[in-house]
Structure 1
């Protein structure tokens, strides 16, 4: 199923996974990403919206809702990684995994 996904969905999922990896690296203090993490977050949000419109996958609404709530969740709190996982679930449900 992953080979048949819409290209916009594939790009959005790839960016989301990259952002998760950057967030995990920051959480584990493997580096400081500063403004780049925010630029990537913007790209992830735009690509998720584009994938919703172009691929017409309703599960991406879950991912977009999590992305919209992220600015309210502090990076050190339990809510930050929980939103990351919930957003990933939206993508996984959209691709049918």
Structure 2
């Protein structure tokens, strides 16, 4: 696993945890969640560019759709899980 892929995947998992906590109303993150989203998007785009893993296309598409998906709707967590699938499809056995 390349370092850029590992960083992107780690940040994605961290953001999923933050999003889950926010979805369940366990915590409020405010602007920090948005800054983390930007870091996740940038690191995922870099991972796609440097590794050329086709599964990451799904993740980038899902991340691109997030600004239009309202929090606490069904589409928001669905995009998160589909983006995770993109990363999982890109993992090498």
TM-score normalised according to structure 1 size: 0.93
Verify: 1:59 aligned to 2:55, yes or no. yes
Select which of 26, 42, 47 maps to 2:43: 47
Deviation digits for residues 1-46 of structure 1 (CA, Å, limit 9, x no counterpart): xxxx111111000000000000000111111100000000000000
Mapped partners of 1:7, 1:56: distance in 2: 14
Task: Please list every run of at least 4 consecutive aligned residues from structure 1 whose deviation after the TM superposition is greater than 6 angstroms.
Answer: none
Verify: 1:22 aligned to 2:10, yes or no. no
Give ranges in structure 1 of 5+ residues lacking alignment: none
Mapped partners of 2:29, 2:35: distance in 1: 10
Mapped partners of 2:73, 2:84: distance in 1: 18
Secondary structure of 1:57's counterpart equals coil
Mapped partners of 1:34, 1:96: distance in 2: 35
2:64 is matched with which residue?
68
Mapped partners of 2:85, 2:49: distance in 1: 18
TM-score normalised according to structure 2 size: 0.97
